[in-house]
Amino acid sequence: MTKCAAIQMASSPSISFNLLEAEKLIAEAVKAGAKLVALPENFALMGTHETDKLNAKEVEGAGPIQEFLATTAKKYSVWVVGGTMPIAGNDSQKVRAACLIYNDQGERVGRYDKIHLFDVKVPGTDEVYRESDAIEPGTEVQVFDTPFGKLGIAICYDLRFPEFFRKMSELGVEILVVPSAFTAETGAAHWEILLRARAVENLCYVLAPNQGGFHINGRKTFGHSMVIDPWGVILDCYKTGGGFVCADIDLERLRKVRGAFPALEHRRFF
């Protein structure tokens, strides 16, 4: 068994402040026994406008946010799933929302770029989001080998597309990490339902770090970061504000569940 943690933040427009907060929470999670920690979407920057990401973008392999992730992983001897951060892509007027994975030696071992972009007017509110104004979508589903199991990454709005997770299932995913910044409105309606559904239909663990609280830009995010087991049981949940959830990932239990309830083997449509 491996103890894994999902970090919850209420990030601000200040990168330096957010990084200090992230390190504090990572240190606390490691003290609680976590060997893998995952940060939420936009952990380093929750700007006033989507285009604020352009001013903070880094080239791959260099920059203060990437240096922070590498240094922190090595300092605390912990694997870090780096939420999302803005990295230069093919379009000079946009960024990639990249999730970078670092091992406990501070080496980058994986990257996933958010595919599904949140271009939505939230029903019942005056909130309008246009991620495509500043973000260039990724194109590839990613599953990575780790000492803790096969790790798949999905980011926030990706959660609403079950076929995306089926692709990861075909690649052998055992742990889904879902860094997010779900709005208060959509989170209250769908966050738990979607996370538990993804765990149950793919018979895997779900580690879901979310933004949670009031932000300087006026936005409110839902929080309720969770760890969920392959049977859909919520192992831990942190409702609002900064903090973390922590629970054991037990691959032996996962294999027993899959063996006793072989739904993945019964699929007839591909």
Whether 28 maps to a domain, the answer reads yes
The residue written with tokens 């209420």 in the block is 10
pLDDT confidence of residue 93 = 92
pLDDT at 270 over 80: no
| Residue 24 among the catalytic residues | no
- Structural contact between residues 223 and 41, judged by C-beta atoms closer than 8 angstroms: no
pLDDT at 123 over 90: no
Q: Domain residues for 125?
A: 2-263
Handedness of CA 167, 171, 177, 179 (dihedral sign): negative
- Comparing 32-36, 194-198, 212-216, 264-268, the range with the smallest average pLDDT is 264-268
Whether 270 maps to a domain, the answer reads no
Choice between 171 and 129, residue whose per-residue pLDDT is larger: 171
Mean pLDDT on 144-168: 97
Which of 192, 126, 181, 153 is CA-nearest to residue 36? Answer: 153
Which of 210, 251, 179 is CA-nearest to residue 2? Answer: 251
Whether 269 maps to a domain, the answer reads no
pLDDT confidence of residue 240 = 94
Whether 232 maps to a domain, the answer reads yes
Kindly name the residue from 4, 156, 204, 246 that is annotated as catalytic: 156
Whether 97 maps to a domain, the answer reads yes
**Rounded Cα gap, residues 115 and 97, in angstroms:** 9
User: What CATH number corresponds to the domain at position 122?
Assistant: 3.60.110.10
Count of domains in the chain? 1
* HSE value, Cβ hemisphere, 13 Å, CA-based, for 150: 14
Kindly name the residue from 41, 58, 136, 174 that is annotated as catalytic: 41
Whether 68 maps to a domain, the answer reads yes
pLDDT in tens, 54-99: 999 999 999 999 999 999 999 999 999 999 999 999 998 999 999 9
- Could you give the dihedral angle defined by the CA atoms of residues 227, 177, 7 and 37, in that order, rounded to the nearest 10 degrees? 100
- Residue 86 has which token pair? 């803005």
Whether 32 maps to a domain, the answer reads yes
| Residue 114 among the catalytic residues | yes
If you average pLDDT over every residue of the chain, what do you get? 95
pLDDT confidence of residue 113 = 98
Q: Which residues pair with 143 in a beta bridge?
A: 152
**Rounded Cα gap, residues 38 and 57, in angstroms:** 21
With residue 120 as reference, give the H or E element that holds it: strand 119-121
Task: Mention every residue, 6+ apart, whose C-beta is less than 8 A from residue 174.
Answer: 149, 150, 151, 204, 205, 251, 254
Kindly name the residue from 4, 114, 131, 246 that is annotated as catalytic: 114
- Structural contact between residues 85 and 44, judged by C-beta atoms closer than 8 angstroms: yes
pLDDT confidence of residue 122 = 83
**Rounded Cα gap, residues 175 and 149, in angstroms:** 7
pLDDT in tens, 15-24: 999 999 999 9
Whether 227 maps to a domain, the answer reads yes
Mean pLDDT on 195-212: 98
| Residue 35 among the catalytic residues | no
**Rounded Cα gap, residues 74 and 217, in angstroms:** 32
Percent residues over pLDDT 70 in the chain: 100
pLDDT in tens, 204-242: 999 999 999 999 888 899 999 999 999 999 999 999 999
pLDDT in tens, 181-193: 999 999 999 999 9
pLDDT at 141 over 90: yes
